[in-house]
């Protein structure tokens, strides 16, 4: 058993952890590619227990309550979308990057109210491509304070970076060239990390929707460096909820 505390810096909604970050923290205990399912809003500044179960999975527990479960997974995407760094920076101009228009302005990953070096400030916007499936992109230059002991960016921050762009991809309406306002919460995330970048190295994130089924919306994402090297891929499932639930009030 290991103890995990989600610092308030790593919030998504105001009173709970960013889903990708929490998934990435639990995934550290899973060898190779992992799939993590969020069972409850991850509390902030609270000692949580990462516990290995008899069937080989891991649970993140708040007392007797399971907050998340994780296991090994095979993650092979049918197609991996790419973008150049200039394309990603142009796409950011079309993102929801103003606090008054953003659903969670203080989110660790995508919140525009977070300062540089505090939040990741990843703002995914649509690429200017006439494709059947819309693709969103963003640039990201990892801050030195995200590095692990080996000098490379800690894996949970790669999970984080791939999280929020998929949520915006699920809510992007290509016909209107705008974002729907449906409140979403991350329900499940799978990720495979190929390589971890060094701080200060420009990276490119792409994300695209893959389907809808009732309240569920799915998307995939990829992280590349500026030279086009694949660093990580992810698959996510988001759940449409009421706004009060998204904010942790319901």
C-alpha 144/C-alpha 250 separation (Å) is 37
Whether this prediction's pTM lies above 0.95 is answered by: yes
pLDDT tens digits, 5-52: 999 999 999 999 999 999 999 999 999 999 999 999 999 999 999 999
pLDDT tens digits, 153-209: 999 999 999 999 999 999 999 889 899 999 999 999 999 999 999 999 999 999 999
Query: Which pLDDT score, from 0 to 100, does residue 128 have?
Result: 81
Cα angle at 225 between 29 and 173, to 5 degrees?
A: 90
pLDDT tens digits, 115-153: 999 999 999 999 987 677 899 999 999 999 999 999 999
Cα angle at 165 between 57 and 248, to 5 degrees?
A: 70
- For residue 162, give the 3-state DSSP assignment: helix
Q: Is the dihedral of CA 77, 79, 81, 82 positive or negative?
A: positive
């Amino acid at each position: 058993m290991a103890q995990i505390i989600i610092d308030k810096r790593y919030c998504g909604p105001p009173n709970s952890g960013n889903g990708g970050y929490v998934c990435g923290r639990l995934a550290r205990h899973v060898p190779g590619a992992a799939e993590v399912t969020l069972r409850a809003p991850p509390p902030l500044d609270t000692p949580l227990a990462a516990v290995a179960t008899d069937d080989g999975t891991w649970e993140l527990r708040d007392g007797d309550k399971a907050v998340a479960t994780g296991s090994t997974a095979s993650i092979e995407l049918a197609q991996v979308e790419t973008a150049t760094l200039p394309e990603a920076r142009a796409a950011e101009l079309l993102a929801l990057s103003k606090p008054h228009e953003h659903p969670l302005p203080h989110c660790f990953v995508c919140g525009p109210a977070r300062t540089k070096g505090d939040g990741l400030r990843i703002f995914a916007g649509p690429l200017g491509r006439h494709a059947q499936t819309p693709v969103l992109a963003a640039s990201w230059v990892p801050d030195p304070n995200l590095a692990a002991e080996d000098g490379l960016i800690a894996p949970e921050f790669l999970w984080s970076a791939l999280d929020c762009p998929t949520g915006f991809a699920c809510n992007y309406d290509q016909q209107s060239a705008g974002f729907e306002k449906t409140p979403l919460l991350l329900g499940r995330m799978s990720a495979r990390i190929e390589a971890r970048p060094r701080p200060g190295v420009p990276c490119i994130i792409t994300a695209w929707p893959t389907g809808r089924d009732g309240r569920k919306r799915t998307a995939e994402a990829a992280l590349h460096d500026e030279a086009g090297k694949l660093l990580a891929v992810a698959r996510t499932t988001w759940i449409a909820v009421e706004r009060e639930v998204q904010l942790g009030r319901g």
